[in-house]
Structure 1
């Protein structure tokens, strides 16, 4: 069965997160995803706050930009959250927006190499291994976690291009696609991920998580249209006659049929009622998807 979740977008003030996470938890929503977009909110701090205020909600960060983060410190943070909240934290990493990386003074010549080196070191450390590596960007000498997690959490990659999708299949445990991903893009992404998995000899499970634009309320359709226009994205066919729980559920099913394991509904940047949005996802959309 397709899992359903929602996003807490960083355009909302950080102090609103506890109430939204609590509403999602109480409504029985499976997952709440956060973004570490520059220069809004820190992903790990936000994830810790959401996890601490809930008791069953899974919290993902999609994604942490690896150019801004030391791999040893990021892995320590992941391990800490996994030990504190076993099975409820989903870490995602990615290249980061290259313009933002340049703003922060951390843009690298080869984002692919940096991501590959980060994934290799991170996943080894989370497995409790002692790591020494002298890569182009990642250098570690005899590093091991003193408090590794009892079970290594899956590490996701946010990817769009063919090379990144293949790398995710080869070297990560899951992939996150952004909300511009219509079913044809999801099918293509799944095929590229599978190519990477074959290259890496991977036979374990690889979960595909896909964001999907959604909204609720009397102005839902207008806000979705404005959101799509802002990013110059194609329309969501299921929304041509309006945005409602029924049409959102139909759009979820289309993405799931194309290969998504989890669909995360993404509210608009100007969402007036984020608590109401997560309840809408859990209480109105989820029954129609199930």
Structure 2
């Protein structure tokens, strides 16, 4: 990556240890997610993201519970989209998390999943512009400004009745395609690259470099994190089996160039996608091939995952350990932390 990078924990300087993050999916009760966040904090994670899907528990309610259970780990949605909720509302919700956590919030924003939005009858229009306008307006609101906006969304004389303790929340854009990657590098504080394989992350790093070339100096440092599907367990087969559901959804939404990059059989990918579109989840998971798991998830024992983390860190400034984590969540948090320690130690040798 460029020298224009910075770790998410602001006490450090460029060149320090990688940022270590975790994604906690609120498919479980908020109390359990809060306990997992506390465990992640104890295990040395820097940031915990909570995913946002309409069919799971509310991410901002969950983040409030996580804030109560923790002291130092940074917290944020990973990621919300500016279609299901109005961007001004999202800015207020994020500021509330910052207040509840005494200034530990980050703002993860992305375009959202096209198929999930379609289920709600929401048009996925001009996603790059919508994301950029959303965090631009949010920054103005967090600064205490009254905002009127007329673009991909409208707001008139909007303001917040609270001031986030951090002043400005770091903005991390969830991205996978070339244009969103470049935009994030040009305008955001960081990016959450939706990928787990060095091939994809090397390609993404090239796109980010193009954006960094146009980045204004006043935007400050930039950080690239791999938002990677990870599954870790004592037994490799158990870890890989647990990876089937998230890998199926990744394959179902993967663009043709991504499939080609990994030599994924198109017919096999279409079988996964067709089963998902018909709601046959068990069938879709069964169509996941070993090659798909290799391409789209870091899966295996602690030692195997550590080796893959080390390879990933060649191209990013840190890793967010994403769903499914592993067959046993608490055990997976501990093993993922151990794997990161091994990868960082190996990188320093």
CA-based RMSD = 2.6
The farther-off stretch of 260-269 and 164-173 is 260-269
Distance 2:324 2:104 in 1: 25
Match for residue 190 of structure 1 among 205, 218, 232: 205
Please tell me whether residue 222 in structure 1 is matched to residue 276 in structure 2: no
Please tell me whether residue 45 in structure 1 is matched to residue 104 in structure 2: no
Distance 1:6 1:43 in 2: 14
Deviation at 1:245?
1.6
Correspondence for 1:256: 313
Deviation at 1:97?
0.8
Q: Any unmatched runs of 5+ in structure 1?
A: none
Distance 2:61 2:296 in 1: 37
TM-score (norm: length of structure 1): 0.86
Does the Cα contact within 8 Å between 1:238 and 1:250 map onto a contact in 2? no
Deviation at 1:110?
1.9
Distance 1:120 1:88 in 2: 20
Match for residue 165 of structure 1 among 162, 166, 181: 181
Please tell me whether residue 140 in structure 1 is matched to residue 155 in structure 2: yes
Deviation at 1:170?
2.3
TM-score (norm: length of structure 2): 0.73
Does the Cα contact within 8 Å between 2:30 and 2:65 map onto a contact in 1? no
Distance 1:23 1:163 in 2: 36
Does the Cα contact within 8 Å between 1:256 and 1:263 map onto a contact in 2? yes
Structure 1 pair 75/23, CA: closer, same or farther in 2 (3 Å)?
same
Deviation at 1:155?
0.9
Give the length in aligned residue pairs: 283
Structure 1 pair 142/11, CA: closer, same or farther in 2 (3 Å)?
closer
Matched position secondary structure for 2:106: strand
Q: Any unmatched runs of 5+ in structure 2?
A: 1-16, 252-291, 345-349
Matched position secondary structure for 1:66: coil
Deviation at 1:238?
11
The farther-off stretch of 69-78 and 26-35 is 26-35
Structure 1 pair 272/21, CA: closer, same or farther in 2 (3 Å)?
same
Any idea what the Cα deviations from partners look like across 1:120-153, whole Å, max 9, x if unmatched?
A: 2112222333322221x32222323332224201
Does the Cα contact within 8 Å between 1:228 and 1:235 map onto a contact in 2? no
Matched position secondary structure for 1:96: coil
Q: What does 1:68-147 align with in structure 2 at a 5 Å threshold?
A: 68-135=84-151, 137-147=152-162
Deviation at 1:266?
2.5
Q: Which runs of 4+ in 1 moved over 4 A?
A: 236-239
Q: What does 1:25-40 align with in structure 2 at a 5 Å threshold?
A: 25-40=41-56
Higher normalized contact order (CA 8 Å, seq sep 6+, divided by chain length): 1
Correspondence for 2:13: none
Structure 1 pair 81/222, CA: closer, same or farther in 2 (3 Å)?
closer
